[in-house]
């Protein structure tokens, strides 16, 4: 019995979501601080302030923005292409999106509070993760609703 061409099953579908988060002014401001510090170091005899100014500029450039990625493995929050936090899918009990004020999250930057860690570079839309450790993790990022929906609907989730 002769058949047609072999039937191949469809390839598994891979879904990922990634967004950049943070104020647009951080990298240019950091670059300006670095350039001004180096320039002024050559013009002034006292340069004790050079190291702190360069450090502030470098921190603004490297950590003034984050990238939030959601895929089948879980959630990764990175700064300067280095992972700050990673949560495997099995560590996440629930995910939702919601508005976050900087005052609610402990301020600007990476914050550790009782029961909650946050990465907040601006007020606004945020991804709220409830973890199986009983802690909560919050990161401010645009389109957090899509991220929360993907986390909740990934195949293989409990």
Instruction: Output the pLDDT for position 145.
Output: 95
Residue 95's DSSP bridge partners are 129
Provide the number of structural domains found in the chain. 1
Task: Report yes or no on 8 lying in a domain.
Answer: no
Instruction: Provide the pLDDT confidence category of residue 15 given band limits of 50, 70 and 90.
Output: confident
What are 107-117's pLDDT values in tens digits? 888 899 999 99
Task: Report yes or no on 12 lying in a domain.
Answer: no
> Which residue range(s) make up the domain with 89?
17-153
State the CATH number of the domain containing residue 95: 2.30.29.30
CA distances from 94 to 24, 40, 42, 129 (A): 30, 51, 54, 6
Task: Report yes or no on 111 lying in a domain.
Answer: yes
């Amino acid at each position: 019995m002769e058949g047609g061409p072999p039937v191949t099953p469809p390839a598994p579908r891979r879904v990922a979501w990634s967004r950049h988060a943070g104020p647009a002014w951080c990298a240019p401001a950091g670059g300006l601080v670095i350039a001004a510090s180096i320039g002024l170091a050559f013009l002034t005899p006292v340069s004790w302030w050079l190291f702190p100014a360069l450090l502030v500029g470098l921190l603004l450039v490297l950590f003034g923005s984050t990238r939030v990625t959601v895929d089948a493995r879980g959630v990764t929050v990175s700064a300067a292409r280095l992972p700050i936090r990673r949560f495997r899918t099995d560590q996440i009990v629930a995910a939702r999106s919601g508005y976050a004020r900087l005052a609610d999250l402990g301020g600007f930057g990476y914050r550790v509070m009782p029961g909650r860690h946050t990465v907040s570079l601006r007020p606004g839309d945020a991804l709220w993760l409830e973890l199986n450790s009983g802690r909560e993790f919050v990161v401010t990022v645009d389109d957090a609703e899509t991220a929360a929906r993907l986390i909740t609907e990934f195949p293989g989730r409990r």
